[in-house]
Amino acid sequence: MEPRQESVIPASGRDYRSSSQDSMSSVTQRWTVWNCAALLCQTSARILVWLLGLLYFSSLPLGIYLLIMQNTTMGVLMVSLVPVSLLIVMVWQAVGIDGRNQIAMSGPSSGCGFLMSVVVHGDLALSEQEKELNQRLRSLYPAVNEQETPLPRSWSPKDKFSYIGLSQNNLRVHYKGHGKTPKDAASVRATHPIPAACGVYYFEVKIISKGRDGYMGIGLSAQGVNMNRLPGWDKHSYGYHGDDGHSFCSSGTGQPYGPTFTTGDVIGCCVNLINNTCFYTKNGHSLGIAFTDLPSNLYPTVGLQTPGEVVDANFGQHPFVFDIEDYMREWRTKIQAQIDRFPIGEREGEWQAMIQKMVASYLVHHSYCATAEAFAKSTDQAVHEELASIKNRQKIQKLVLSGRMGEAIETTQQLYPSLLERNSDLLFMLKVRQFIEMVNGTDSEVRCLGGRSPKSQDSYPGSPRLFNSPVHKASSSQTYQTSTYYIHKIFFLPAWVKKHLTKMILQKSGLLHQKKNFYTEVEMEVDHFSNGVSESSSNGFLNGSSTHGIDLEELDSAQSKRQLCGGSQAAIERMIQFGRELQSMSEHLRRERGKNSANKKMLKDAFSLLAYSDPWNSPVGYQLDSIQREPVCSTLNSAILETHNLPKQPPLALAVGQAAQCLSLMARTGSGSCAFASVDDYLH
Amino acid sequence: MMACLLEAPLRISVLSEVTATSRHYVDRLFDPDPQNVLQGVIDMKNAVIGNNKQKANLIVLGAVPRLLYLLQQSSSSLELRTECAVVLGSLAMGTENNIKSLVDCHIIPALLQGLLCSDLIFIEACLRCLRTVFISPVTPVQLLYTDPTVIPHLMSLLSRSRHTKEYITQIFAHCCKTPEHQTVLFNHSAIQNIAPLLISPSDKVRMQALKCFSVLAYENTQVSMTLVNVLVDGEQLSQVFVRMMQRDKPIEMQLTAAKCLTYMCRAGAIRTDDNCIILKTLPCLVRMCSKERLLEERVEGAETLAYLMEPDVELQRIASFTDHLVSMLADYFKYPSSVSAITDIKRLDHDLKHAHELRQAAFKLYASLGSNDEDIRKKITETENMMDRIVSGLSESSIKVRLAAVRCLHSLSRSVQQLRTSFHDHAVWKPLMKLLQNAPDEVLVMASSTLCNLLLEFSPSKEPILDSGVIELLCSLTQSDSPALRVNGIWALMNMAFQADQKVKVEIVRALGTEQLFRLLSDPDTNVLMKTLGLLRNLLSTRPHIDQIMSSHGKQIMQAVTLILEGEHSIEVKEQTLCILANIADGNTAKELIMTNDDMLQKIKYYMGHSNVKLQLAATFCISNLIWNEEDDSP
């Protein structure tokens, strides 16, 4: 419970969205590691292929030589290598695309160039389909947590009767028994049960061939139901059969339900996990409710009974014939209307007072003191913290948010002397942030050196949009200069970082292009988030007693030549020196308190910034974004509040976190309405 | 009793008090000081809001003409005129009687005149009042069209504000009732003006614009053909309608959008196999029939769906298995339900009011569903108590229900299997015959064509129907003014005569009379002519019958045949006539009538050499009958 809430409560106003920020950083991390791995693989793979090729082509003369030399076993082995490998290739080609995983293994050993290309191509198509599937599942079932409850994506090769054969990535099902009596019926279940958090779940089955008699059943069954039967015949098993169009609800005798179905038809099955019903569709037309009072954790199931029957499943790999989104829209509106019309009854006064209290405490927590004061006055409430204390916190927060970390640390030490001494991890985090701000050129120490007017201190953009304005391209000569400069200067870094960085710098010209593409995508997302947030953060400024005018012109110029540490040599020197201090602090911490992977990663990421000529456009450049100041700010704020015995998190954020927890609890206990009641929808 | 007596004077005094205050309001309208008049009108406005009694009092006391006078007076201040329009609008919100009095005071021309003013707020007040007057069922719609300048002016006001958009489209939607109205609005480019309103940010405006399109497109090919080509914001109109049918949209919007697409489809502007019909409109209309919807919505949904799929068997097939539609419709007959009678009177009243509408809608939809496909008919007759419901529907008091029930019966009577089984089991002919005794023409047409099917040779109901004196009834139908009734009458007789007893044939000839037969043979409607010839052919079958009829009516029949063979008729008619001749030739004595008629033999010879194969065949058939007879006769 703790860690989840932590992610919910970070900073001013932005709180509930930062989880996506987290996911982004992890993606980035993977990206860099992947790069290195790919680099390594590329060279080694090339060498390997060459070696194997050499071995392959020399095997025939070598074999003949060995035979002549009367080394029969090795000779025969060598001679037969070429024909055998060719045979394998031909067999795999006949098998078709299905075997492409195996080809991937046999490919390098056979050393055939064209096969390699086939493999790569096939994998691309596969990943394309995978991507489409993931995308569709995510948009259909956004409330499903796939770590906890994975969605069905294919038929299970394990959970099936032996008369069932699977192909085409376990999506195609064919019958391979005798099909003489109903005793020869065979079923297969999907890999996973349908998660309740789907709200409404849907899959389609296309009848490729009705085979001899077309005794096909499409439906649902629970784990453990006999697979030597068609769906619907047993308890906890439900099916719609093609030969007579009847529905079978845990019984051997069917009820007249819908039309029959045969070759070419597309049959859909929709499970409504809100009212626990199920209906089928035929070629995009709903056939009406088939089953009610369904149990939870059912698996999509198909059953076949006569030879020649072949069906294909669509769990989201392709667009559905039936407009399931439209059906979901109806239920979303229903659930939301239910929430909106939730009866409060006579307790309306109580509710209002509670909500006002929560809002007030939220404002105080984030030290919007003027707003808090005004709100408290108009709603007749008392503020539980002294005004001076709020203002102090506000001051520190403002410094952090404007990137002036040095001053922020200093002020904190002044106002709350023992806080940082006791909490060295927090101090370390602040220092790392200070280092990042130095790189950014916004930290006060660097600013003075950078020769910019120290008076116009605020560089926290009033509107984050500025950050996404087209980035000025540093001239190439300059880039070169700075990058060589790093190579000279990175000696202070530990050996592993050095190695890592050198490699990165050497490769960056080639990789930069890819990264840029990747990054524009991420930046757009960031833009979206920050737009929603800017209001609340600027609120903080407006409330402040001191008036920091935001000098747009100055900001613009800062943007237009974004250079390391503001471009000043002295500042860079200072930054490097600070980096060394930080390194030693980290070592010190490790010695005292043992390893701390979070700290280690934080430092590594921060130092990685120096590896790029243009850190803002690098894979680790997100750290320089002003949004990243907010988690730091909120952690510091929470720490200060804790020393005053005030709650670490505002009750409002707690309530939001609790609501989110409730929803995930609902998902776990199988009530489907949670799918259409996302907390985020109510936080606008 | 005592209490009533005591209370009466009290009530009178209250009433007089109210009248006194009302009089005070009216008196103030005549104040010489315009400022006082304005204040008076404003006070009146506040007094009448939501008070129907007060409204009625003011109207009785003659406030309306004065208010209208003030409104029309250009010397009055704009504010006063606006307030007058607001008060009038408020008065119109009351009962239907209020509206009648307002219309009688010529409020409509006065308000339409007011629209010529340039002030937007005043215009909006006038439009609001006009809207309220026009949406009332008691207002004659024609008043909107009497002055030809009104519609163009309203079109020009359309884009002025959100309110003008809403009110004007609402007026159009309610005042477009006939094809003439549709044409007037169409000619003043209503489509181009209203189409952009479909993507207006205001829900009300969108809804009214949509309603406008549904009334404009109803049974109007010209409008429908124009609509398919209209683009709104780069999107086809049909796509806009499809979006409005999404399940999260208000039900009224879904239903009206489905109506628009239905009308466009029936007018031929959209194909029936278009995805927006098959995958969107049809399922949407089926949803409208579900139990969750209001009774009014279910009625409209079922009627629209019936209209949509009437001509297309594929749509009927799809609808028949969509969402259990056939059994869903059975619910339409369960009003007023026993539950509603117990729980509350209000609901019972509501149910009773809609019960007839629901039943007739369900019958219509069943009729449409079963008009082509045998499997669907079977499914319908297997629905719980279906035949009983139809039988009781045939004798219901509401003519709409009777008509719908007989339509449904007619549609089901196309099934041979049903004719043989359920129709006979439930003796549907009894209420049907009763219905035929006295009914309006539209019911008669349906009932008689159902009777045609019931009189088919294999129908077990044929005998009892014959016994109930149906021949007289059918003969009287053949004398009707309506061609449809004449066809049905003679058609039924034709079916009846097929392989019938001598007795029946004689009875038919007697009841119809040769004079009437001749009249039918010269009927302008080819259908009537064909069926009459068919009747003759059926009458003249099997040798003894031929001889008997020819001996009594031979001369007239030969005359009629000659007449038709000489006249300007289609190939089918002549072929049928030659077949009659062939039948006559089959008789023992009757053949003499041909053999002795040189002219007739010449004609047969002529048709043997005719370019049309069918006629050649019929003539040859005729000759072969003549010859075969002779051989048979000779010893």
* Number of structural domains in chain A: 2
If 0-12 CB within 10 Å is exposed, 13-18 middle and 19+ buried, where does residue A52 land? middle
Residue of A275, A281, A326, A335 to mutate when probing chain B, most B C-beta within 10 A: A326
Q: Is the pLDDT of residue A458 over 70?
A: no
Lowest mean pLDDT among A175-189, A225-239, B586-600: B586-600
Provide the CATH number for the domain around residue A175.
2.60.120.920
pLDDT, tens digit, 9 for 90 and up, residues A393-428: 888 888 888 888 888 888 888 888 888 888 888 888
Output the CA torsion A431→A436→A442→A443 (10° steps).
Answer: 20
Question: Residue B336, preceding bond cis, omega within 30 degrees?
Answer: yes
**Nearest Cα residue in chain B from A329:** B248
Chain B positions in Cβ-Cβ contact with residue A200 (cut-off 8 Å): none
pLDDT, tens digit, 9 for 90 and up, residues A538-576: 333 333 333 343 333 334 344 445 677 777 778 888 888
Q: Is the pLDDT of residue A610 over 70?
A: yes
Lowest mean pLDDT among A149-163, A237-251, A628-642, B150-164: A628-642
A186 and A308 share one domain: yes
Q: Does the residue A118 lie in any domain?
A: no
Alpha carbons A600 and A587: distance in angstroms, whole number: 10
Q: Is the pLDDT of residue A2 over 70?
A: no
| Residue B502 one-letter amino acid | Q
Structure tokens at A317: 């790999």
A150 and A233 share one domain: yes
B248–A286 CB contact, under 8 Å: no
> Could you tell me the pLDDT band of residue A150, with boundaries at 50, 70 and 90?
very high
pLDDT, tens digit, 9 for 90 and up, residues B477-507: 888 888 888 888 888 888 888 888 888 888 8
Of the two residues B70 and A566, the one the predictor is more confident about is B70
A302 forms beta bridges with: A188, A218
Contacts 24+ apart (CB under 8 A), B467-470: B468/B429, B468/B433, B470/B433, B470/B496
* Other CB atoms within 10 A of residue A472 CB: 13
What pLDDT is recorded for position B15? 53
Q: Does the residue A425 lie in any domain?
A: yes
A261 and A397 share one domain: no
What pLDDT is recorded for position B7? 45
Alpha carbons A651 and A640: distance in angstroms, whole number: 17
B251 in Cβ contact with B296 (< 8 Å): no
Q: Tell me which range, A97-101, A498-502, A679-683, B299-303, is most confidently predicted by mean pLDDT.
A: B299-303
Alpha carbons A558 and A553: distance in angstroms, whole number: 9
Given CB atoms, is A292 within the 8 Å cutoff of chain B? no
What pLDDT is recorded for position B209? 95
Mean of the pLDDT values across residues A98-105? 39
Domain-terminating residue out of A301, A322, A343: A322
A163 and A277 share one domain: yes
Q: Is the pLDDT of residue A364 over 80?
A: yes
Q: Does the residue A458 lie in any domain?
A: no
Q: Does the residue A242 lie in any domain?
A: yes
Q: Which residues of B388-424 are buried (b: 16+ CB within 10 A; e: fewer)?
A: ebbbebbebeeebbbbbbbbbbbbbbbbeebbeebbb
Mean of the pLDDT values across residues A625-643? 85
Q: Does the residue A312 lie in any domain?
A: yes
Q: Is the pLDDT of residue B98 over 80?
A: yes
User: In the block, which residue shows the tokens 């006065």?
Assistant: B110
What pLDDT is recorded for position B629? 52
Mean of the pLDDT values across residues A379-406? 82
Mean pLDDT rounded to a whole number for chain A: 74
A296 and A357 share one domain: no
Distance to chain B for A520, nearest Cα, Å = 30
Mean pLDDT rounded to a whole number for chain B: 87
What pLDDT is recorded for position A625? 83
A271 and A405 share one domain: no
Domain-terminating residue out of A300, A322, A344: A322
Structural fold of domain B552-628 = Leucine-rich Repeat Variant (1.25.10)
**Nearest Cα residue in chain B from A336:** B248
A196 and A285 share one domain: yes
What pLDDT is recorded for position B541? 81
> Could you tell me the pLDDT band of residue A449, with boundaries at 50, 70 and 90?
low
pLDDT, tens digit, 9 for 90 and up, residues A571-609: 888 888 888 888 888 888 888 888 888 888 888 888 888
- Domain hosting residue A570, numbered range: 353-447+564-669
Chain A positions in Cβ-Cβ contact with residue B328 (cut-off 8 Å): 288
Nearest beta carbon to residue A332 from set B248, B279, B324: B248
A375: nearest Cα among A547, A543, A544? A543
A285–B246 CB contact, under 8 Å: no
A276 and A375 share one domain: no
A198 and A316 share one domain: yes
A281 and A418 share one domain: no
B413: nearest Cα among B359, B456, B475, B476? B456
What pLDDT is recorded for position B510? 84
Q: Is the pLDDT of residue A471 over 50?
A: no
Domain positions in chain B: 552-628
B248–A329 CB contact, under 8 Å: yes
A258–B322 CB contact, under 8 Å: no
Q: Is the pLDDT of residue A288 over 80?
A: yes
Mean of the pLDDT values across residues B266-272? 94
Distance to chain A for B322, nearest Cα, Å = 5
Q: Does the residue A252 lie in any domain?
A: yes
Domain-terminating residue out of A322, A344, A374: A322
A155 forms beta bridges with: A190
Q: Is the pLDDT of residue A237 over 90?
A: yes
Of the two residues A430 and A38, the one the predictor is more confident about is A430
Q: Does the residue A59 lie in any domain?
A: no
pTM greater than the 0.90 cutoff: no
Distance to chain B for A671, nearest Cα, Å = 22
pLDDT, tens digit, 9 for 90 and up, residues B18-35: 677 788 888 888 888 888
Nearest beta carbon to residue A329 from set B247, B323, B324: B247
A305 and A374 share one domain: no
Q: What is the ipTM of this complex?
A: 0.82
Q: Does the residue A64 lie in any domain?
A: no
A192 and A300 share one domain: yes
What pLDDT is recorded for position A1? 34
